[in-house]
Chain A
Amino acid sequence: MKRIGIDVGGTNTDAVLIADDKVVHSVKAATTADVTSGILAALKALRDNPAAAVPVDAVVIGTTHFINAVVQRRHLQRIGAVRIGMPASASLPPFCDWPADLGALVSGETFMLEGGHDYDGRPFMPLDIDGLKAAARAIKAKGLRSVAVASSFSPLDPSCENIAREIFAEICPDVAVTLSHDLGRIGLLERENAALLNAALHDLAVTTVAAFRKAIADSGIDAPLFLTQNDGTVMQAEIATAFPVMSFASGATNSMRGAAYLSGLDDAMVVDVGGTTSDIGQLRHGFPREANAVVEVGGVRTLFRMPDLLSIGLGGGSHVDENPVRVGPVSVGYRLTSDALVFGGHQLTATDIAVAAGLIDIGDRARVAHLPKHLIGAALADAHRKLEGDIDRMKTEAGDVPLLAVGGGAFLVPERLAGISEIVRVPHGDCANAVGAAIAQVSGEADQVFRDMTRDEAIAATRGIAEDRAVQAGAARETLKTVDVEDMPIAYLPGNALRVRVRVAGAIAAPDIGAAA
């Protein structure tokens, strides 16, 4: 199996080739405004190495493009919003908890209709078919090109949302339809928010994925394209086009997954030291531990599966203040190669301290020869103290655990830290994110409420649904493993009601088996 992994970050576009479980070659290129030419440049550099100029089975891209669009309020489109479940929840319509600027940018027209389900699968109200038809006609008349539909308890019974899709297909076939049950769990508001964000990114997703495809085709590579999603698994490019929100956190996830792969460790702490920040997370069974709480994206509450990360303002480009001695949180960012002392600039950075201390050898060492020993020692001590405290905050077990140090600024991580059994550094660690993209798996998830079933039966039934979904998304069934099981009895409900969530992941199936979803 040969795969190319690409990480399109804010500063760099990294590419690696992995063949038969080994990293053959890795390269870095500058990210470009049009995305495509940065990927083209990275792929050209990669394949300039004859060992890497071989046919591949798949190209996997991780990108922060879609989350940046939401955070920066750029390239978003105006959408229709359809809520099904009236007369309940009427006082909290779609967009009710969005930041005002984002809501004003995205909200086209809102429709609140009767229908939906109850927790036990009973219809809540008969579905308002005429209302749906009128909504479709209104959306067509208004020229909206994308619509989000959210119905109460649709993760248990999606039929109302599915009927809505059929009606839209009939009346306004050119309008893209996002159904909330494809994106979220129980929690109407957060699931609906995910659908609304997804609908608002539709046109951007179409053009971006097309640009990815073009870059790959122009590079002369003939292989299926995948994108990585928040949990470190991949989706086929067609699915990524339909669900851009699923890639929101893929950058950080890929770097943790890549670190796990390069080191062979499945359970460890990970610190990814970049130019501006250090991201600290924890690997469990080879996957990042997910955040417990509601995750806000651009100010919008969602329940996306996101890694639990602590970002601190410490990186290779961090400013070093002398009185008192302090490293970060301000950074020179992408101007490191012009502003740092060793590169001829005038800003004392963490990189300069590391060069002076002999930890790394980049730039002009003579330009930091004048730095006093006590300053070097105090600056490194400050960086170490910050890393030590925050890594311990993210640990979830008392014993000593290994720490994987990756990223371009990993030289700031000392050889010994309290609570850490060993510091693990790996070759290609500076491209861990692209490695993570290349080795990403395919996952499937199911979330259901059962009554009058034993716990084991309910979990088995849920796992079966999750496995089917994973296979549908392109996984090889025989490689599937359960990565997360959660069961929760529902207070006050009769019949020993139990809510079960199961997630499975496995290797990408050989290209001819991968079924389009």
Chain B
Amino acid sequence: MTTISIDDIEALAVGAWILGTGGGGSPYLGLLNLRRLYAEGHRVHMMSPLDLADNDWVAVVSNMGAPLVGQERLADSRSIARAVRMQEEINSIKFRAVMSVEIGGGNGMQALMAAAHLGIPVVDADCMGRAFPEAQMTSVAIGDLKPYPCTLYDPRGIEAVVTKVPSWKWMERASRKICVEMGSIASTSKAPRTGREVKDWGIHFTTTKAIAIGRAVDAANRSHQDPIAAVLDCEGGQRLFTGKIVDVERRTTEGFLRGSAVVEGSDDDRGTQLKLSFQNEWIVAWRGDEAIAMSPDLICVLDSVNGHGIGTETVRYGQRVTVIALPAPAVLTSARGLDFVGPRAFGYDLDFRSLFAPPGAV
């Protein structure tokens, strides 16, 4: 068990935004909540998933909804804590710890916000190792673990539970409807997991990883080194392309933000273009007709100057960016994993080809 420092949290906000691969919303408001909680004397502790007992209960939290709504209804740490309490009440259980469904974006901060109020540690793990747009795009869905119940909370005192569904897809559909009625934002606590399940199907040490990435970027910026090289060194990633955003096209289909961004090359990539397709998150990078990187490998678009993440909602014409790829957690690149998060899960008729050597046995 370690105590997470406020410096760790500042670094986590930077690292989680990079691991968000364009989606998940900026972690800034979560960071503000945690600065305040720490100023009030709260501290968050973090435990290894390996230290969980098999019969411990672990809460899995996420703030669900549209990033734009999150800019007007600001993240409140008490809301996510209440969603967790609802799970304890309806299941008559006590949670040992709490984890985020996704480390990427604003949800990377939600588990810490809940933990500060609940007085339980966060688990150094998540269910994506990045961010994805849909509820069934998780390691626990790939593991075919029970998808219900899910609690949803709105600070006006609206509390909802999706009691039972036949599949993770149905959980996505039913909970999304409730979320939209609540104003397209809801604090949610997903199906509780046992310690055994987290050990078997959680993606481990991703909070530590996000903090390390954030620290590397900050250190590089402070010493005027290349922050992008720092991210690549940290994660064994590859630099794909450097240039300027010259076109952004977005459309809403089936309730998601889909579209593409075109990067025109500079430096070594001068005279060429890279096209990025997205569904909330960056999904495929194209050089002409050739897909050179694709989900579940992480495609991250970073500010070329400070190395910070750039979201698919905020990417804009003229931004100077560096596109990098980072290796995906092994569970996502397994045959069953690719059914959930491979290019075909996003409608691209592509066989997954990783940029990275197959990861060794975990």
Contact = CB atoms under 8 A, between A and B. Distances in A.
Contacts of A187: 71-72
B155 A494 contact: no
Contacts of B256: 491-492
A89 B257 contact: no
A306 to B, nearest CB: 14
Interface string B236-267: 00000000101000111001110000001010
Interface stretch (B28-36, B120-128, B189-197): B28-36
Contact of B36 (A91, A188, A499): A91
Interface stretch (B176-184, B283-291, B332-340, B341-349): B176-184
Contact of B68 (A85, A152, A397, A499): A499
Given A119-B68, A188-B72, A490 B252 contact: yes
Contacts of A124: 73, 156, 183
A393 B75 CA distance: 36
B173 interface: no
A87 B74 CA distance: 11
Given A119-B66, A153-B72, A492 B176 contact: yes
A396 B244 contact: yes
B359 interface: no
A89 B29 CA distance: 10
Given A85-B73, A88-B73, A153-B72, A125 B271 contact: no
B313 A491 contact: yes
Interface residues of B, number: 46
Contact of A90 (B155, B266, B319): B155
Interface string A483-499: 00001111111101111
Contacts of A396: 244, 246, 317-318
B310 to A, nearest CB: 9
B74 A119 contact: no
A403 B320 CA distance: 20
Contacts of B314: 292
A85 B251 CA distance: 29
Contacts of A289: 318
Interface in A119-137: 119, 122, 124-125
Contacts of B246: 396-397
B149 interface: no
Contact of A398 (B251, B252, B266, B317): B266
Contact of B76 (A88, A153, A308, A499): A88
Contacts of A89: 73-74, 76
Interface string B60-99: 0000011111011111111000000000000000000000
B270 interface: yes
B186 to A, nearest CB: 11
A118 interface: yes
Nearest to B133: A491
A398 B179 contact: no
A91 B76 contact: yes
A486 to B, nearest CB: 8
Interface string B308-336: 00000110111110000000000000000
Contact of B270 (A398, A493, A497): A398
A142 B69 CA distance: 35
Q: Which of A91, A308, A488, A489 has the most CB of B within 10 A?
A: A91
B184 A119 contact: yes
B264 A92 contact: no
Given A97-B32, A488-B313, A188 B71 contact: yes
Contacts of B264: 397-398
A249 B21 CA distance: 33
A489 B318 contact: no
B36 A96 contact: yes
Contacts of A398: 264, 266, 270-271
Contact of B73 (A152, A487, A492, A497): A152
A152 B250 contact: no
Contact of A87 (B69, B77, B155, B255): B155
B252 A491 contact: yes
* Residue of B180, B252, B257 ringed by the most chain A CB atoms within 10 A: B252
A7 B209 CA distance: 51
B107 interface: no
Contacts of B67: 491
A296 to B, nearest CB: 13
Given A119-B183, A189-B29, A398-B264, A493 B66 contact: yes
B280 interface: yes
B252 A88 contact: no
Interface string A388-424: 0000010011100000000000000000000000000
Interface in A479-517: 487-494, 496-499
B136 to A, nearest CB: 15
A186 B68 contact: yes
Contact of B183 (A97, A118, A487, A496): A118
A487 B248 CA distance: 10
Nearest to B259: A489
A85 B69 CA distance: 13
Given A487-B250, A490-B68, 17 more contacts: A87-B156, A88-B76, A88-B156, A91-B74, A92-B29, A96-B36, A124-B73, A125-B156, A153-B72, A187-B71, A292-B314, A398-B266, A490-B257, A491-B133, A492-B180, A493-B180, A497-B252
24 contacts: A87-B156, A87-B157, A88-B76, A90-B155, A92-B32, A118-B183, A125-B156, A153-B72, A186-B71, A189-B74, A393-B320, A396-B244, A396-B246, A489-B251, A489-B257, A490-B69, A490-B252, A491-B252, A492-B65, A492-B180, A492-B256, A493-B180, A493-B255, A497-B252
Interface of B: 29, 32-33, 36, 65-69, 71-78, 133, 155-157, 176, 179-180, 183-184, 244, 246, 250-252, 255-257, 264, 266, 270-271, 280, 313-314, 316-320
List 5 A-B pairs, minimum CB-CB distance, nearest first: A489-B252, A491-B257, A89-B74, A396-B318, A91-B76
